[in-house]
């Protein structure tokens, strides 16, 4: 019987240069969609999928992220004194249980593959999930939970897939799909950021993965590519020679919150989905459109 997925790695060491100057002092993963930072959405998705251990690969200047998942005694006491139970429950809801959260550093910005590799001694020989907080996925059944269910059926590596326009292929790892049933397809190959004419399909990998620990050996031998970065997709391509990979075309909406327009889109869409905000936000949008 294959091992259950109990660990998740969150690569959060990136500099967030697209959001400068804001990210000069605020980790990009702490940028908010309405009233929750991006990293909270990712962690809550992992919790809903049964993850029990949370591994954050951080970098310099990420202390705000670490503090976010810890108790704030001063804030707690102030809220208690004011009798503000709703806010008190909200801030304590995000606190991760003692012994379930681990932080390790990526000391140089050497890419996603290197960030995942930095967690090797913490993951050990277990299967694990990787969640990129930049990719906010809104779904009735959380995306990672869908992937865990697919993993339990195929007992192999699983990546999240979505269809993209051909002209966007140069921004993604694109897969060459093999045979598949319904939403799960076997992956025959992966090409990192191909030109549209060279893309093997319109299916792109987005920021959710379930991987066997063998990926670390593959990452050891991957050569640095563009900008001196080690790409996770290159290691996946290498591992494909001896292990099966499946892609799940998940149900849900994905927002690229690594871009400014994607963060704005996510904020508007999710505000419109909230009963406490939808009516007022819809009215604001109408007024803005009419002014134009």
Q: What is the pLDDT along the chain (292 residues), one digit of tens a residue?
A: 578 999 999 999 888 888 889 888 888 999 999 999 999 999 999 999 999 999 999 988 788 888 888 888 898 889 888 888 888 888 888 888 888 999 999 988 889 999 999 999 999 999 999 999 999 999 999 999 999 999 998 889 999 999 999 888 888 888 998 876 678 999 999 988 889 888 988 999 999 999 999 999 999 888 887 678 888 999 999 999 889 999 999 999 999 999 999 999 999 999 999 999 999 999 999 998 888 6
User: Which positions ≥6 away from 61 have C-beta within 8 Å?
Assistant: 25, 27
Check if the beta carbon of residue 219 is closer than 8 Å to that of residue 113. yes
Check if the beta carbon of residue 205 is closer than 8 Å to that of residue 172. yes
Q: Where are the domains of the chain?
A: 7-258, 259-292
Check if the beta carbon of residue 174 is closer than 8 Å to that of residue 159. no
The pTM of the full predicted model, rounded to 2 decimals, is: 0.92
Cα of first residue to Cα of last residue in the chain, in angstroms, is: 60
Tell whether the torsion through CA atoms of 31, 116, 43 and 100 is positive or negative: negative
Q: Which CATH number fits domain 7-258: 3.40.190.10, 3.10.20.30, 3.90.550.10, 3.40.50.720?
A: 3.90.550.10
Helix extents (H) in 94-142: 112-117, 120-123
Q: How far apart are CA 69 and CA 97, in angstroms?
A: 9
Rg (CA), the chain: 20
Helix extents (H) in 61-183: 63-68, 73-82, 85-93, 112-117, 120-123, 143-154
């Amino acid at each position: 019987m294959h091992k259950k997925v109990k660990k998740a790695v969150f690569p959060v060491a990136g500099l967030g240069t697209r959001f400068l100057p804001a990210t000069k002092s605020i980790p990009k993963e702490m940028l908010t969609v309405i009233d929750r930072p991006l990293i909270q959405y990712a962690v809550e998705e992992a919790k809903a999928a049964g993850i029990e251990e949370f591994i954050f690969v951080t970098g310099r200047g990420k202390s705000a992220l670490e503090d976010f998942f810890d108790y704030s005694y001063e804030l707690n006491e102030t809220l208690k004194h004011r009798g503000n139970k709703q806010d008190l429950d909200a801030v304590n809801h995000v606190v991760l249980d003692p012994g379930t959260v681990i932080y390790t550093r990526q000391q140089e910005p050497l890419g996603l593959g290197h960030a995942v590799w930095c967690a090797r001694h913490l993951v050990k020989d277990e299967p694990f999930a990787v969640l990129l907080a930049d990719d906010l996925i809104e779904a009735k059944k959380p995306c990672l939970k869908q992937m865990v269910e697919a993993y339990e059926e195929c007992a192999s590596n699983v990546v999240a897939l979505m269809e993209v326009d051909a002209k966007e292929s140069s921004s993604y790892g694109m897969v060459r799909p093999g045979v598949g049933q319904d939403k799960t397809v076997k992956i025959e190959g992966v090409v990192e950021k191909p030109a549209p004419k060279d893309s093997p399909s319109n299916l792109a990998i987005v920021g959710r993965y379930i991987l066997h620990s063998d990926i670390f050996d593959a990452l050891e031998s991957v050569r640095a590519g563009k900008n001196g970065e080690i790409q996770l997709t290159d290691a996946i391509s290498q591992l494909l020679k001896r292990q099966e990979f499946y892609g799940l075309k998940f149900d849900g909406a994905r927002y690229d919150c690594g871009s400014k327009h994607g963060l704005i889109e996510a904020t508007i869409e999710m505000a419109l989905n909230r009963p406490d905000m939808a009516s007022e936000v819809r009215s604001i949008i109408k007024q803005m459109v009419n002014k134009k």
